[in-house]
Structures are given as structure tokens and as C-alpha cells.
Homo-oligomer: A and B are copies of this chain.
Amino acid sequence: MAIKDKGTEQLIKDTAKRIFFAEGKLHSTTQDIANAAGVSRTLLHYYFRSKDQLINIVFKDAMDELGSRLDNVMDADRPFKEKMENLIDVFVTEAMAFPYQETFLITEINSANSVIYNEYKTAKLKSFLKQIESEMVAGNIETMNPIHFMMNLFSLMAYPLVMSPLYKQFFKLSDKAFKNLIIERKKLICKMIFK
């Protein structure tokens, strides 16, 4: 009942997101979600009509959230390097809380018979790619296809968190030690992508 009273609907959604994005339990049933939320499973149907609907809403939310997170940082009217530092901080912090958000999206896309997911606004992306190119011309970052630059950036931020269960055991790291490594990475990534 604790968090419950911001509304049951929101509670169910948040619980589903926690299970999928934070815990990475992609095979969870409606019963699992209801239990974790401490409500009856029927409520899930009352508010979302079907499991598919709930998944669709969670999916859409995640896509939108991903999009607007990118927007916020790319928009900001600040020097490029500062923007990148900010992006890395925001993104890694979010990824620490919800490491499997993108994994969930990809799995849904791959599993779906036909998913409709949003087109991303081209203008904003193009302008951002241009900025990256300018930085290359200015000699601040290595010259390459700016798409590579973006893929490198996201890879370095996201992948270690996705892999954390394997990395923790492979490198014999405690939760705490692993968390510290990830925090270290914020600066490390910055060093890596700038000359």
C-alpha cells in the first residue's frame, strides 16, 4: 500500500517498468506484475484491458522517454563538450536505474508481428550530426562517420550495465565495486570520445 496512492494505474505501470527495465525479467506474467505491485491481477485488466495493451503503453512510454532524453541534451544551447558531459551524466544515471529499457524495446520489436514505433524527428538529428562533424573539423574529436561517434557513445554508456550480471561474476566484482566502476566510466567515456 506504500507507494500505492498515486493511483493504482500508475502503480501498475511503474511496477511493470521496474520489472522489465530495472530487473530485466522480460518473461514476466501479468500475475508477476500484479504480485509485485501488491494488487489483484484483475486490476491490470480493469486499467489496461489486456496484457498487450499494458505492454504497448509501456513500450510507447519507453520510446518517448528515450526520444525526449535525447532531445533535451541535443537541444541545449551550450558548448558541445559540455553538452556531451551532461548527456553522459544523465544517460548513465538513468541506465543505472533502468539498464534493460532498450533491451526490452528491442525484444518487443523483434517479437512483434508488426510494431509501429515512432519516426524520429529528422531535423534535430541532422543538426546534431552536423555539430559532431564541426567538432571533427575543429579537431576536438577523431574524424569518422558521425553515426559511428554516436554509436560509440551509446555503446560505452549502456552495454556494461546490460551485461552487469555476467561482468560481476566474470570479474568477481561486488555490487558496490561494480557501481563504482560505472560511475568512474562517466569521466572515462568523456576522455575516450574527445581527443
Contact = CB atoms under 8 A, between A and B. Distances in A.
Contacts of A191: 142
Given A154-B159, A156-B156, A181-B148, A107 B192 contact: no
A144 B103 contact: no
Given A154-B163, A184-B148, A106 B171 contact: no
Given A163-B154, A188-B148, A110 B24 contact: yes
A135 interface: no
Contact of A110 (B25, B144, B185): B25
B110 A165 contact: yes
A2 interface: no
Contact of A144 (B100, B142, B151, B188): B188
Contacts of A188: 144, 148, 152
Contacts of A158: 155, 159
A176 interface: no
A111 interface: yes
A147 B171 contact: yes
A94 interface: no
A46 interface: no
A6 interface: no
Most interface-central of A28, A100, A110, A165 (chain B CB within 10 A): A110
Contacts of A156: 152, 155-156
B111 A181 contact: no
Contact of A26 (B111, B172, B185): B111
A114 to B, nearest CB: 13
B111 A27 contact: yes
Given A156-B152, A188-B144, A107 B111 contact: no
A111 to B, nearest CB: 5
Interface string A176-195: 00000100110010011000
A166 interface: yes
